[in-house]
Chain A
Amino acid sequence: MNEERPASIDLAKAREALAGKRGQEYWRSLEQLAETPEFRAWVDDEFPGRATLAQIDRRTILKFMGASMALAGLAGCRGMFLDEPRVVPYVKAPEELVPGKPLFYASTFSLGGYGVGVLVESHEGRPTKIEGNPDHPASLGACNPWMQASILGLYDPDRSQNVTSQGDISTWNAFFAIAREALEKQKAKGGAGIRLLTETVTSPTLARQIGEFLAAYPKAHWHQYEPGARDSAYEGTMMAFGQPVETVYDLSKANRIVSLDADFLTSMPGSLVYSRQFADGRRLTEGRTSMSRLYMFESGVSVTGANADHRWPVKPSEIGAIAAELLAALSGKPATGPYKAQIEPIARDLKAQNGATVVIPGDDQPAALHATCHSINEVLGSKARQIVEPVAAKPVNHTRSLSELCDAMKTGSVDALFILGGNPAYDAPADFGIADALAKVKLKVRHGLYEDETSALCDWHVPATHYLEHWSDARAFDGTASIVQPLTAPLFDGRSDHQLLAGLMGKPDDGHDLVQETWKQRGIPNSPFPNDFEKSWREVLHAGFVPGTAAKLPTESWAGQALVKMKKEGILLGIPDAPQRSGGPALEVAFRLDPALHDGRFNNLGWLQELPRPITQNLWDNAALMGIGAAEKLGVEAGDMVEITVGGRTIKVAAMPQPGHPEGSITIHLGWGRTKAGTVGNGTGFDAYPLRTSARMGHAGGAQIKKIDGFHKVQTTQMHHQMESYGDKLDIIRTGALADYAKHPSSFAPTIHESPGPVDEALEKSHHPGNDQNRQEQPAITMYEEEVFKTNLPQWGMTIDLNSCIGCNACVTACQAENNVPVVGKTQVGRGREMHWLRIDRYYGPRGGQGSLENPDMLFQPMMCGHCEIAPCEPVCPVGATLHSHEGLNQMVYNRCVGTRYCSNNCPYKVRRFNFFNFTDNQDQFSTQTPPDVREPKHNGIQLLKMLNNPNVTVRGRGVMEKCTYCVQRINDARIEAKKGGRPIADGDIVTACQQACPARAITFGNIADKQSAVAKLKREPRAYRLLEELNTRPRTSYLSRVRNPNPEVPA
């Protein structure tokens, strides 16, 4: 036989190929790795070495076939979810994983460095939904839209999937070889040419690693920058106390709250807790007739402003003057400014509260305001404001920090720059010229979730892991440390920042060990197993956070001095850099983080793009928000393009007149107009960062605006009607003043046809005849007997307390995540086809009895299917696809629905949603098309998004109607559990997705046939009413009217 010697195996090549591999990637032979010609021949030809197929005998063919069948099965075994065996701590500890039964793991979501504990629902290793961790002090079980949408971020097909070098796919090892070489060179210089750029770091592990890194390279620098950093909050405490400290509020101790441009209900760290405390302080149930009062001076329109009892729109620059004036008024000096009529009674009101007050400054306002507010709070003896040690590992002024980095880069003294997270190329202050500065750096490495604007300017992009894919830790707004626990192995080739740093230092890079190492060093306080770290660690993972790690009050040594000093010089302390009074008529531009996209990092998440912003109801776009008068003067309507110039920098943006927005200023939300966000986010909205300079991060004065040609449709989900145009005679939202409520609660009772909850009464009668003497039974207005209520089954119902609802949108995203609600894109939203089962209606009303466009009252009303007892949708369906259950649910039978849309026409609440297209399978049906490669299975692509779906909720196809089900899957789950336990479903067993997410606990769900249930009690509240009662649809969802607590002494 003439045997040819095979080509020699190139071992170097094989090693190289192996170097890029991680985890469970298999190789067959050295030949494969080295890609020898022989191996190629085998790959190309299934039966190499035979002349024709006929040469193979029958036995060989059978052998091959048998082997093929066996191996085909093996191929299915490699799951991306089968990870290191360690990932098994359960919150509920079952014997083993039961298929079809979700498990919940505690982890931590962080934004701007501040962690919030979450529970992640996992179906057979597939995370599908985020809930708040009820035990975590920053969540208390609540969620915000960002937390909900982060699960979509995990499955985002646009996430960066590979290490790339100048855009070409490379490997981690190739990267580490280059990076370590660069670092090695720096050793001699002590690392003088090395720079680290991170976002706010609160993670103890990352801080420890950076510390180690800086110890190894003592002359290296660590910079921090993120556009939403709380510079002025820290600087303010510097001014007040001489040291950066964390300001934390406890609103449960505040009876009077003054917010100076602070949107503490939605956009501050700890907002979820503040919302809860705020709502609790205003809850009027169970006979309570007192509630807190909120005064708000604000420069834009925010959720907090909408919830205020008194609200004044002012220019951003006026806030400082107002604070100074308030401080003066509190110390007995007469107020002089334009708001003196308001400020004096406010000061009196605050003083009378004996310390149960707090003044909260906005994070976007200058440090001086924060200092002034600290003074005010000291003067008031506020118990609600607490000063604790900083939560950030190293509190720095982010703008200054980035500025130092840019200066260093421009001088060419930076040899290696590692950017961990963030997106400075997009969101750095416009005057830094960061793109030019970056060009002078020899080695630029970007570690991030997306290959974005910054990656494009760097030499290397290394993919980061999503927080559900890696081990880490973070601290909450109050300092409590929580553990970030992965729910799945990395879907792509990403590594966490811990692994990256360990890799750069040539250390073992197991994320779990790195985090554990930190806590071994620190020790786990208050553990029931003080001597057994492993057990303590499991406890921590189970809880999701390390109890007792909240930031401490400052030590006596400095705090005592500072506070004493402050009390002595008190009032003066805040004023040194007293903000100027309003800079005259000059136009101002306020830069605010977007309520949904934050600083732009969530730009590629459809749920957040398509989330109607509170109050403006704007979505898929931002706009220059301006007062009605300003728009009138400028001659613009919504969508007209304007050009805004500040200090020689210009942007073009669509205008949007907004009732309640202060005149003389324009608010633009940041985070839009990205060019490399991904399929969803590219090109939506207008980028405002080019206007934002380091000197004017919060707002800029001296702006010019002019109308230019062009129109850009600004999409909103609501038309612009003023409710007062025909009066709220329908009682859509019932409102009133606390004083009236306290005197005559019954005056809040419904006026139209019925007393509150007659059906509940009827039900109670039927269940406990003759039981109820307190209230008169009013028969339902119907000619027919009500078969459905003759059962002994539970009757589901809901209440929404409009007095608690803050309008934050948490429920909207929670519903979207729970119920597989698709995203439809801007065009379809423009046609009126958004699919949200739960929406938040916004109405403008008169403020202080006076209708006004300049400062209307803003009201929110969450709207979803009310499961009417006499549902108008049911009799009109020709095929009986929507029916009533014996438990009072209005059910949709998707399979039976033919899509006549008659039910939607006949629904007076318009809560039904129709699948005009195959929205679910075409999540790429956005304004831009998905690049074709994303759809290919090898890129996971659109298939990836399918893993997001909740398996317990039907995914709806085209042409069928859908709507809120009261989370029927959760009802059934609770029913099964109850049956297993041989008990009735207890009150509180069923928590709907919206109810679970609500930070204000405005939503209550349960069995209204059970008189003792929480929901039944709420339905008996004097404030309870049914929407559009005169239609006699009798929805099962009742609203509780909104009560405001205005100060009669304060003029509007």
Chain B
Amino acid sequence: MMADKEGLGGHDPLIGGQQTFQSLDNTIASVVQDQKRHSNKPWMATTFIAFIFVNILMVSVGWLVYQGIGIWGNNVPAGWAFDIINFVWWIGIGHAGTLISAILLLLRQQWRNSINRFSEAMTIFAVMCAAMFPLFHTGRPWVAFYWLLPYPNIMGVWPQFRSPLIWDVFAVSTYFTVSLVFWLVGLVPDFGTLRDRAEKVAMKRFWAILAMGWRGSQKHWHRYEQAYLILAGISTPLVLSVHSIVSLDFAVSIVPGWNTAVFPPYFVAGAVFAGFAMVLLLAIPIRAIYGLKDLITMRHIDWCAKIMLTTGLIVFFGYMLEVYYGWYSGEIPETRVMLWRFFGPYKYLYWLLILCNGVIPQLMWSPKARRHIPTVWFVCLVVSLGMWLERFVIIPMSLTINYLPASDRMYYPTLWDFGMFTGTIGFFVFMMFLFVRFLPTINMFEMKDLLHTLSHGKARKVAVGAKGGR
């Protein structure tokens, strides 16, 4: 297989340095178990700053629930703005995790082993951030949080299943549940390792509970692999469905600029694009801080960058199609939306989007740039910004221009809009750093399996790319 061949012959190995099973365990597990590895300042500093933003988030949400949506800049016609931009942005970011863990697993891409745990955690926290927005963007969240669920009640009132928002509820909740289960199941063998390595009795007990009696027997491994494979199978369609459904919020409507059939594939590509950017954005500093360069190697970064480039091109193609449809429809409102994007008062944001998502990612064509860490990190940052701008272009920019020109009104965000947005970023970073501190960031047993595979110099025929090596 390609990956293996490259892995064996390429310049950048999938695992660097002279590694043994022991050294892998040490490198990864000590991040969790050895207090000294956190005495360095970056973790404390970053977590503290992120914690401040978590507080900003809490204040923003508190004030929002107390006062009403009016503290934001939303209006009529722009009923949705930052709230849904951020929702879509976060959901998109989550997609890389599922893609890496499920699809690459099924495709037996062993290079995923060092980044899957990390990306899955990212998925879960990103979905948590995302889910806050649709709930709190409602006028009455205290009823919205259960009225959108189909529960039997004495009044016989059900949600309205024709609404894409209901599809969202199902899509996002399924996505979150499956991702969480997938992640937790994958953690079980590593919990076993941590339990075995723990020195203090209390910690041993703690990990033992989490390990749920994992003993690493042949039977355990067999069942684990079956379960993991099934979960991967369930997750795989979610990668495509969740963001497709999110895109239907727009595509189903009759709003000019939204009503486009290209949205589902274009949104999925955008999600993977944004997700991989976020993976690299976080992986690059963490591998530097925790000395994981041998496990997350240049090879990983290179491949992630390639995926980013590919999906970025799809997304850019989507932008071109949007313009084409606007013109081809011959509809005045559609044409107006396009002209509004190109030349309207928000035109800077549109052209910045083209720069961020269309132009700058083309740097990734160059192998040199893909291996130049600061460049890659910068491109990822730009892509994350670009994907946010894309949603700005789609949501408030389309809403501010209407069928009836008399209803056209500008939208401007308020400080509270930024408060909640930056608050969720803080929450995400905070959760990621807690995760890095308290759970194994890299899948230990899969790395050992990979080491075993590589050291035997051949690609073994395994159903799943993981076998315990203890």
- A contact residues vs B (CB 8 Å cutoff): 718-719, 721, 723, 726-727, 729-730, 732, 828, 831-833, 841-843, 861, 863, 872, 875-880, 896-902, 904-906, 908-910, 912-918, 958-961, 1027-1028, 1031
Contacts and interface: CB of A to CB of B under 8 A. Distances in A.
A833 B76 contact: yes
- Please give me the 8 A-B residue pairs with the lowest Cβ-Cβ distance, nearest first: A899-B139, A959-B139, A901-B79, A832-B75, A916-B70, A841-B406, A910-B407, A878-B165
B147 to A, nearest CB: 5
Contact of B254 (A841, A872, A877): A872
B278 to A, nearest CB: 27
Contacts of A828: 70
Interface stretch (B45-53, B107-115, B397-405, B430-438): B397-405
Contact of A729 (B163, B332, B411): B332
B95 to A, nearest CB: 23
B148 A1031 contact: no
A419 B336 CA distance: 58
A842 B137 CA distance: 32
B407 A909 contact: yes
A901 B406 contact: no
Contacts of B252: 876
B139 A898 contact: yes
B30 to A, nearest CB: 48
29 contacts: A723-B405, A832-B409, A832-B411, A841-B404, A841-B406, A875-B160, A875-B163, A876-B162, A876-B165, A876-B252, A878-B148, A878-B160, A879-B147, A880-B160, A897-B140, A898-B144, A901-B137, A904-B79, A905-B399, A906-B253, A908-B402, A908-B403, A910-B402, A914-B76, A915-B139, A959-B138, A959-B139, A961-B139, A1031-B403
Contacts of B249: 902
A876 to B, nearest CB: 5
Interface string B89-100: 000000000000
B139 A901 contact: yes
B157 interface: yes
A618 to B, nearest CB: 15
Contacts of B79: 901-902, 904-905, 914
Contacts of A721: 405, 408
A1031 B73 CA distance: 29
Contacts of B80: 901-902, 905
B78 A832 contact: yes
Contact of B138 (A732, A898, A910, A913): A898
**Interface-central residue, B73, B134, B169, B252, by most chain A CB under 10 Å:** B252
Given A831-B73, A899-B140, A878 B169 contact: yes
A876 B138 CA distance: 14
Q: Please report whether the interface of chain B is mostly helix, strand, loop or mixed according to DSSP.
A: loop
Given A909-B404, A910-B77, A915 B68 contact: yes
A913 B76 CA distance: 7
A900 B368 CA distance: 47
B40 interface: no
**Interface-central residue, B70, B253, B406, by most chain A CB under 10 Å:** B406
Nearest to B144: A898
Contacts of B381: none
A898 B406 contact: no
Contact of B406 (A843, A875, A904, A958): A843
B285 interface: no
B78 to A, nearest CB: 7
Nearest to A732: B404
**Interface-central residue, A876, A900, A916, A1028, by most chain B CB under 10 Å:** A900
Contacts of B74: 901, 916
B69 A730 contact: no
B69 A910 contact: no
A914 B165 contact: no
Contacts of A902: 79-80, 163, 165, 249, 253
Contacts of A832: 75-78, 409-411
Interface string B42-84: 0000000000000000000000000111100111111110000
A958 B408 CA distance: 24
Contacts of B137: 900-901
Contacts of B1: none
B138 A899 contact: yes
Contacts of A841: 404, 406-407
B347 to A, nearest CB: 16
A872 B259 CA distance: 12
Interface residues of B, number: 53
A906 to B, nearest CB: 5
Interface in B92-148: 134, 137-141, 143-144, 147-148
A913 B75 CA distance: 9
Nearest to A720: B408
B254 A1031 contact: yes
Contacts of B143: 898
A875 B167 CA distance: 12
A451 to B, nearest CB: 33
B139 A833 contact: no
A1028 B333 CA distance: 11
Nearest to A895: B143
B70 A917 contact: yes
Contacts of B163: 875-878, 902
B255 interface: yes
Given A878-B159, A878-B163, A917 B67 contact: yes
Given A879-B147, A909-B407, 18 more contacts: A718-B406, A718-B408, A732-B405, A833-B75, A843-B405, A896-B147, A898-B141, A900-B134, A904-B77, A905-B253, A905-B399, A914-B69, A914-B79, A914-B139, A916-B75, A959-B139, A1027-B404, A1028-B404
Given A719-B408, A916-B70, A959-B68, A730 B403 contact: yes
A752 B330 CA distance: 14
B265 interface: no
B164 interface: yes
Contact of B139 (A723, A843, A861, A958): A958
A842 B407 CA distance: 10
Contact of B148 (A898, A909, A961): A898
Contacts of B169: 878
Contacts of B412: 831
A453 to B, nearest CB: 34
B75 A910 contact: no
A910 B255 CA distance: 11
A706 B141 CA distance: 52
Interface string B411-422: 110000000000
B253 A912 contact: no
Given A841-B404, A876-B253, A917 B68 contact: yes
A730 B406 CA distance: 13
A861 B159 contact: no
A906 B76 CA distance: 11
B56 to A, nearest CB: 22
A879 B70 contact: no
A910 B398 CA distance: 13
Contacts of A915: 68, 139
B166 interface: yes
Contact of A896 (B68, B75, B157, B162): B157
A842 B406 contact: yes
A438 to B, nearest CB: 44
Contacts of B75: 831-833, 916
Nearest to B253: A906
Contacts of B162: 875-876
A960 B406 contact: no
A48 to B, nearest CB: 46
Nearest to B83: A901
B406 A863 contact: yes
A828 B410 CA distance: 13
Interface in B328-375: 332-333, 335-336
Nearest to A959: B139
Contacts of B399: 905
Contacts of A729: 332
